[in-house]
Amino acid sequence: MLLEEKRKELVAIGLRAIREGLTTGTGGNFSVCDRESGLMCITPSGIPYVDIRPEQIVVMDVETGKIVDGDAVPSSECDMHRIFYKYRTDIDAVIHTHTTYASTYSCFRRPLPAIHYLAAFGGTHVNCAEYATYGTVELARNAFKAMEGVNAVLLANHGLLAGAKTLDMAYNITEELEFCCKMVCTSMAMEASGVKPVVLPQDEMDRMVERFKGYGKVHEKHEEI
């Protein structure tokens, strides 16, 4: 089977998302890009993640969007995935979800404030892309524009999109930003009592982005305590 391992990887990540509450039913979509062949694998449309088989993962040509293999219809958001593989060589995996808090916060159509340093998993900032109907080229272009130079973007009245070198990395970004969106939504509810959260300054977020580059890889040396 063409790109069998990548297709199995997508089946596994979909099941993980269901198990850990990052998606439900058929919501959202997941993909990976194989740079060597110029092909991408994407989850199918209309099939619950618990029922997807590897052969139903759709293989498409990144350059043309032509379906190369797969026993199903590709996700309606295939263009939104393909645009990143076509023009962002730093991204080889894309995850789009309708997580509760990210989707809720996206309805306010605002950038995600740096209420917690974990927001830096998405980059120096996380914008909210202009609204467009799901499954359209317009939405793909809006998402791509709003995610320039970073690894995540909110989709207005829709959800969250994250891109990275690997599926695991994109999944981690999704998890951390959903946590941050939960914090923001909770804080907004508390603001009704007149209490406002303190947002981290941009220079601190820039510092966090640099620190995360070595996260889990480098043991930092500090001055003696």
Per the domain annotation, does 177 fall within a domain? yes
Nearest to 23 by CA among 49, 3, 4, 57: 49
77 annotated active-site: yes
Q: What CATH number is given to the structural domain containing 44?
A: 3.40.225.10
Per the domain annotation, does 224 fall within a domain? no
Per the domain annotation, does 106 fall within a domain? yes
> How confident is the model at residue 196, as a pLDDT?
79
CB contact at 8 A, 42 and 56:
no
The boundaries of the domain holding residue 143 are 4-212
Per the domain annotation, does 225 fall within a domain? no
Per the domain annotation, does 179 fall within a domain? yes
Write out pLDDT tens, residues 59-95: 999 999 999 999 999 999 999 999 999 999 999 999 9
> How confident is the model at residue 20, as a pLDDT?
96
The span from the first CA to the last CA of the chain, in angstroms, equals 56
Size of the chain in residues? 225
Per the domain annotation, does 108 fall within a domain? yes
Q: Is 115 helix (H, G, I), strand (E, B) or coil?
A: coil
Quote the number of domains for the chain.
1
The answer, yes or no, to whether residue 149 has pLDDT greater than 70, is: yes
Name the pTM for this structure.
0.89
Per the domain annotation, does 221 fall within a domain? no
The whole-number average pLDDT for the span 141-146 is 99
CB contact at 8 A, 158 and 135:
no
Write out pLDDT tens, residues 163-193: 999 999 999 999 999 999 999 999 998 887 7
Active-site pick, 4, 9, 20, 77:
77
Nearest to 49 by CA among 79, 85, 84, 20: 20
- How far from the centroid of its chain's Cα atoms is residue 52's Cα? 20
Per the domain annotation, does 27 fall within a domain? yes
